[in-house]
Amino acid sequence: MQHLADLHVHSRFSRACSSALSIKTLEKWAKIKGVTLLGTSDFTHPEWIKELKDNLVEDESGVLKTSSGFPFILQTEISLIYTQGDKGRRVHQVVLAPNFEVVDQITEYLKKNGRIDYDGRPIFKISSDKFVYDLRKISQDIEVIPAHIWTPWFSMFGSKSGFDSLQECFKDQEKYVHAIETGMSSDPPMNWRLKQLDRINILSFSDAHSFWPWRLGREATIFDFKKLTYANLLRAIRTGEGLTGTVEVDPGYGKYHFDGHRNCNITMTPAEALKHKNICPNCKRELTLGVAHRVEDLADRAEDYQRPNAKPFHTLLPISEVLSSMINKAISTKTVWKEYNKLLKRFGSEYEILLNAPENKLAEEVHPKIANAIMLNREGKLKVKPGYDGVYGELIMSDGVNEKELLAEEQKPSSLQKGLGEFL
Amino acid, single-letter form, for residue 108: E
**pLDDT over 80 at 99, yes or no:** yes
**pLDDT over 90 at 78, yes or no:** yes
What is d(CA 279, CA 272) in angstroms, rounded to the nearest whole number?
Answer: 10
What is the per-residue pLDDT for 402? 81
What is the per-residue pLDDT for 192? 98
Q: How far is CA 317 from the centre of its chain?
A: 11
**pLDDT over 50 at 424, yes or no:** no
Please, where are the H alpha helices in 140-198?
Answer: 166-170, 188-192
What is the per-residue pLDDT for 408? 81
At 210, the pLDDT band (50, 70, 90 cuts) reads very high
At 217, the pLDDT band (50, 70, 90 cuts) reads very high
Return the percentage of the chain with pLDDT > 70, whole number.
97
**pLDDT over 80 at 412, yes or no:** no
What is the per-residue pLDDT for 338? 95
Q: How many CB atoms lie within 10 A of CB 172?
A: 10
What is the per-residue pLDDT for 373? 96
Quote the strand ranges of 205-269, DSSP E: 220-224, 243-248, 259-261, 266-268
Query: Can you give the residue ranges of every domain in the chain?
Result: 2-253, 318-424
What is d(CA 69, CA 67) in angstroms, rounded to the nearest whole number?
Answer: 6
What are 396-402's contacts with CB under 8 Å, separation 24+?
A: 396/325, 397/325, 397/326, 397/373, 399/369, 400/325, 400/326, 400/327, 400/328, 400/369, 401/326, 401/327, 401/367, 401/369, 401/370, 402/327, 402/328
**What would the pLDDT profile of 107-143 be if each residue is shown by its tens digit?**
999 999 999 999 999 999 999 999 999 999 999 999 9
**What would the pLDDT profile of 331-371 be if each residue is shown by its tens digit?**
999 999 999 999 999 999 999 999 999 999 999 999 999 99
Q: What is the pTM of this model?
A: 0.95
What is the per-residue pLDDT for 414? 54
Q: CATH number of the domain at 2-253, please?
A: 3.20.20.140
**pLDDT over 50 at 421, yes or no:** no
What is the per-residue pLDDT for 121? 98
